[in-house]
Amino acid sequence: MIQIGCTSFKEHTYLTGKKESSLFEYAAFFPLVEMDTSFYAIPKQTYVKEWLKQVPERFQFIMKLPKVFTKHEELTEGGSLKEIAQELLESLKPMIEQGNLFCLLAQFPPYFDCRRENVDYLRILRQLFPQMPIAIELRNNSWYDSAFLAQTRAFMQEQNFSLVIVDEPKKLSTTIPFDTYVTNSSFVFFRFHGRNDIGWNATGPDAKRLRTNYRYSQEELKELQEAVASVKEQSKQVAIIFNNNAGGDAAENALQFKDLLQLDFENLNPSQLGLF
């Protein structure tokens, strides 16, 4: 099964014509969403329950792990990763129990390179979430160096991680390759960030906006379509997230990609509420 969605549900003006859309409105177009709010703070369980009320029964969520788990933030004194992991799982309990959690996403920063300390940390991460489907996105290309690539792939398989297949700028020496190797037969996860070579390494308050400001051409989407076709038989489920949000292109590109793959999503929300 192939599912397509975008990062966040609010900012896709293309879908509704509104500056901000509701989750209910978003779920009329896509069966999957990546939630990045959990990266900044563990959501209250009341919020999780409210999200579930707004989506169809089979709708799927990809929840980003809080930044303390991905080395973006140091652990504060008096707390432990185990306690925070339990807090997160308790928050997501309704989503997990109802079968609406597609996976947890651990997106690591560029300075998380391939060395023993970080390999050991990934083992700890698996121990913290032993039963959860986890996708790992690496942003340091040392993991893909010819000297380590085979070991990286084998390690991800051993730990039952799905190594995210990432599309990002192609002309920079610092970016990671578009590697379509499947490390988990349960699910494959593609993340399409766009190919903004100039903006990818931007810093400052506008960095996020510049990094994902990109519109995929039809030719580029066809290239990505071929990649998806090459792996879809190797895993039970395929999730595709368009993260090129900054210029408002993600939703339109995602719908174009749906058409290219000749997909027909069933059990979506109605596109508009009737009077009765």
**CA dihedral over 90, 95, 98, 100, signed as positive or negative:** negative
Given a contact cutoff of 8 angstroms between Cβ atoms, the answer to whether 89 and 45 are in contact is no
Buried b vs exposed e over 197-231: b needs ≥16 C-beta within 10 Å? eebbeeeeeeeeebbbbbebeeebbeebeeebeee
**Helix, strand or coil, per DSSP, at residue 26:** helix
Instruction: Provide the pLDDT for residue 272.
Output: 64
Contact criterion met (CB below 8 Å) for 178 and 166: yes
Distance of CA 60 to the CA centre of its chain: 12
82 burial class (0-12, 13-18, 19+ CB within 10 angstroms)? exposed
Alpha helices in the chain (DSSP H): 13-16, 23-26, 37-40, 45-53, 81-91, 93-97, 116-128, 149-158, 207-211, 218-231, 250-260
- Alpha-carbon radius of gyration of the chain: 18
* Residue matched to tokens 């970016």: 175
pTM beyond cutoff 0.85: yes
Rounded-to-integer distance, Cα 226 and Cα 115, Å: 33
Count of alpha carbons within 13 angstroms of residue 154, beta-carbon side: 4
- Compute the average pLDDT of residues 49-66: 97
Q: What residue has token string 């010819």?
A: 146
* Rounded Cα gap, residues 172 and 199, in angstroms: 11
Chain position carrying tokens 């707390």: 79
Q: Would you place residue 172 in the very low, low, confident or very high pLDDT band (cuts 50, 70, 90)?
A: confident
Q: Which of 168-172, 228-232, 243-247 has the lowest mean pLDDT?
A: 168-172
Rounded to whole angstroms, the Cα distance separating 154 from 160 reads 10
Which residues, 6 or more positions from 150, have their beta carbon under 8 angstroms from its beta carbon?
none
Structure tokens at 95: 């989503």
**Amino acid 2: pLDDT:** 95
Strands 101-107 and 134-137: parallel
- Whether 235 shows a pLDDT value over 70: the answer reads yes
pLDDT tens by residue, 88-127: 999 999 999 999 999 999 999 999 999 999 999 999 999 9
Confidence at residue 274, expressed as pLDDT on a 0 to 100 scale: 47
Please tell me which of 28-32, 247-251, 265-269 the model is most confident about, judged by mean pLDDT.
28-32
When pLDDT is averaged across residues 27-48 and rounded to a whole number, the result is 96
Query: In terms of DSSP bridges, do strands 187-192 and 2-7 run parallel, antiparallel, or are they unpaired?
Result: unpaired
